[in-house]
Amino acid sequence: MDPRFDLPLYTRAEVALHLGLPATTLGDWLRSGALEAGSGGRGEPTITFAGLVETHMLRHLRRSGLSLQAIGEAAVALRSRAGRHYPLAWSGLAYDGRDLLIEISNEGREAGWERIRDSQGGFPGVLRRGSAAIGWSDDGYAATLRLVIYHDIDVVVDPARSHGRPMVEDVHVDDVITEVRTGAPYREIAAKFNLEDFEVEALVRPHIRPPAFRKARHLETQADALL
C-alpha cells in the first residue's frame, strides 16, 4: 500500500481549507472529471494525498491560464489511454499556457512534446513544468506538498508523516490552532512550540473567518475568530 494513493486522508472541507479554495469551486472541479476522488459519506475522508496534490496543481494550472476543459480532457485521456492514475500529481507533464503536454522521444530524433488531449505533436518548446511547491519522488510522483496558503512560514504535507497532517518541521499546525482557540497569548504559544510570534500569526491567518462572518468587535476574542 502506498499512502500517497491508497489512503483517503482528507475530507473535502479539509482540502478546501489547506488550499484556500471555496468549497463550491472544489465541488465543481471534482464533478468536472479533472480530479480523482473516492466516494464516501458527508464529512468522511475521501481524498488522498495524491488527490490533494492534483487539486493544488489544478489551481496552479488555472491561474496559469489553462481552461478547466483543457485540463479535464488531458487528465481523462491520461487515465483512460495511458492508465496513469492521478496524472496531475505526476512530474511528466508540462504546459504552454493553453494545454497540457507530455514529453515524447523517438529514436534518432530530439525529444519533443505532444498535446495530451488529441496526441498532436510538434511542440518545440515548453514554458513551464510542475509547481515549486511540490517535492517529487524518484518514481515521478509527488512526495510532499508545501501549502502555499501559508505565508512567511513553510507548512508541508507528507503522507509518510503523521497521516499527512500539515506540519512545520515537527509541529502539527492543528495543535497550534487548538492552543490559539484556548485564548492563550501568541508569545506563550510560540514558546511552547519553539516558534516565533510571527510564525504563530502566519499559521492562524488562513483559519480566520472573513469579516462578513465575524461577530461584533466587542464580542470577539481570538478563539471566536477561528474556524
| CA 87 vs CA 156, 187, 204, 221: distances in Å | 21, 43, 32, 44
Whether 192 and 145 map to the same domain: the answer is no
Q: Is the per-residue pLDDT at 219 higher than 50?
A: no
The one-letter code for the residue type at 112 is G
Out of 152, 168, 184, a domain closes at 168
Whether 115 and 21 map to the same domain: the answer is yes
**Model confidence pLDDT, tens digit, residues 121-134:** 656 555 567 789 99
**Model confidence pLDDT, tens digit, residues 50-98:** 999 999 999 999 998 899 999 998 898 888 876 788 999 998 888 887 8
Whether 113 and 70 map to the same domain: the answer is yes
Average pLDDT rounded to a whole number, residues 102-126: 66
Helices (H) and strands (E) in the chain, counts: 7, 8
Question: Cβ(177)–Cβ(207) under 8 Å?
Answer: yes
pTM, rounded to two decimals: 0.85
Rounded CA-CA distance 72/127 in Å is 20
Rounded CA-CA distance 60/65 in Å is 9
Position 7 in a domain:
no
**Model confidence pLDDT, tens digit, residues 155-210:** 999 999 999 999 999 999 999 999 999 999 999 999 999 999 999 999 999 987 55
Say what the pLDDT of residue 48 is: 95
Whether 88 and 157 map to the same domain: the answer is yes
Here the cell at position 123 is 511542440
Q: What range does the domain containing 210 cover?
A: 169-227
Per the structure, the count of domains in the chain is: 2
Q: How sure is the predictor about 227, in pLDDT bands with cuts at 50, 70 and 90?
A: very low
Whether 161 and 181 map to the same domain: the answer is no
Q: Which long-range contacts (CB under 8 A, 24 or more apart) does 186-195 make?
A: 195/168, 195/171
User: What's the farthest any 2 CA atoms get from each other in the chain?
Assistant: 73
Whether 226 and 132 map to the same domain: the answer is no
Here the cell at position 151 is 505565508
